[in-house]
Amino acid sequence: MQAALTIRIDADSPTPVYRQISDAIRPLLVAGVLRPGDSLPPVRQLAIDLAVHFNTVAGAYRTLAEEGWLDLRRHRGAQVMERITPPSVRPDAALKFGQRLRELVAASQAAGLPPKSIARQLRRIVEALDPC
Amino acid sequence: MQAALTIRIDADSPTPVYRQISDAIRPLLVAGVLRPGDSLPPVRQLAIDLAVHFNTVAGAYRTLAEEGWLDLRRHRGAQVMERITPPSVRPDAALKFGQRLRELVAASQAAGLPPKSIARQLRRIVEALDPC
């Protein structure tokens, strides 16, 4: 693995820790920072680094393997795979994304984050996704 | 309560159900669809409607009460409160929002949602937050 893997675990979050780990790694896979053939840190090493049980890290890797990102064959550790095809999109994917996006924005507004600051971060992602 | 409360529970989601409920209600509070003085459905009624345990709905209401949105005094049900002041923003709020936003976008891309579709939804929120 070339990129430094920075994962923040939030003990107060209602999101399970294994999921926090897979959520943190997935953007690196989507963006191609982690490429096919790259290796992720061994489960036990990452578990020590994050101070979590190794089953938690194993669960995160398994989640990503089920999504087609990782090859977890024995003796090789977790290796990034060539993801064969983009999966067929579930019909409610856009709806769900919209809902979760509105929930995230509302939670951040409720926490006092100024709308301009939220809008700035959204614009940055839009520019990366769909530059016009 | 004036607005119809539409809440989708996703049994496959790793997000606890009580949290799915509070996450779904919060945008209505932030947007002012639910206003001070409005009443939310009684815990037991919403629990029946959503086919969840009433403690789950009570947990969702408690979460929103702790955030200053709801008054849960006995005999009055859950009533929307005038939220006195915007809370002081935690210094890492913007950082956390950015991280969760990137994770959400990556998960949706990984699920095959086209970047243009993601960007369209982001733009819609930007326009509502910070019209220029």
Q: For A70-97, how does the pLDDT look when each residue is reduced to its tens digit (9 = 90+)?
A: 999 867 789 999 887 566 777 788 888 9
* CB neighbour list of residue B62: distance below 8 Å, 6 or more residues apart: B72
- What pLDDT is recorded for position A3? 44
What Cα–Cα distance (Å) separates residue B122 from each residue in A89, B50, B112, B118? 19, 29, 17, 6
Closest CA to B19 of B74, B62, B77, B73: B62
Which helix (H) or strand (E) segment is B58 a member of? helix B54-66
- What pLDDT is recorded for position A87? 61
| Burial state string for A38-66 with b = 16 or more CB within 10 A and e = fewer than 16 | bebbebeebbeebebeeebbbbbbbbbbe
* Over residues B32-56, mean pLDDT: 90
Cα torsion B31, B37, B43, B46: sign: negative
Q: How far apart are CA B52 and CA B35, in angstroms?
A: 26
* Over residues B104-123, mean pLDDT: 91
**Tokens coding B30:** 């932030």
For chain B, percent of residues with pLDDT exceeding 90: 44
- What pLDDT is recorded for position A86? 61
Give the nearest partner residue to A122 out of B99, B117, B125, using CB atoms: B125
Interhelix angle B54-66/B17-30, nearest 10 degrees: 40
Q: For A6-60, how does the pLDDT look when each residue is reduced to its tens digit (9 = 90+)?
A: 788 888 888 899 999 999 999 888 888 888 988 898 999 899 989 999 999 999 9
For residue A26, list chain B residues with Cβ-Cβ distance below 8 A: 103, 106-107, 110
Closest CA to B63 of B33, B120, B23, B95: B23
Q: Which of B56, B101, B120, B132 to mutate to test the interface with A (most CBs of A within 10 A)?
A: B101
Q: For B17-35, how does the pLDDT look when each residue is reduced to its tens digit (9 = 90+)?
A: 999 999 999 988 888 878 8
State the nearest Cα–Cα gap between A75 and chain B, in angstroms: 27
Q: How far apart are CA A61 and CA A56, in angstroms?
A: 9
DSSP structure string for A34-90: S-TT-BPPPHHHHHHHHTS-HHHHHHHHHHHHHTTSEE--TTS--EE----SPPPPP
Check A97 against B109: CB less than 8 A apart: no
Q: What share of chain B is helix, strand, coil (3-state, %, to 5)?
A: 50, 5, 45
Query: Scanning every residue of chain B, which has its alpha carbon at the shortest distance from the alpha carbon of A15?
Result: B15
* Over residues B100-119, mean pLDDT: 91
pTM of the model: 0.68
Check B98 against A112: CB less than 8 A apart: no
Q: How far apart are CA B27 and CA A110, in angstroms?
A: 9
- What pLDDT is recorded for position A1? 38
Burial class (CB in 10 A: 0-12, 13-18, 19+), B119: buried
Residue B77: pLDDT band with limits 50, 70, 90 = confident
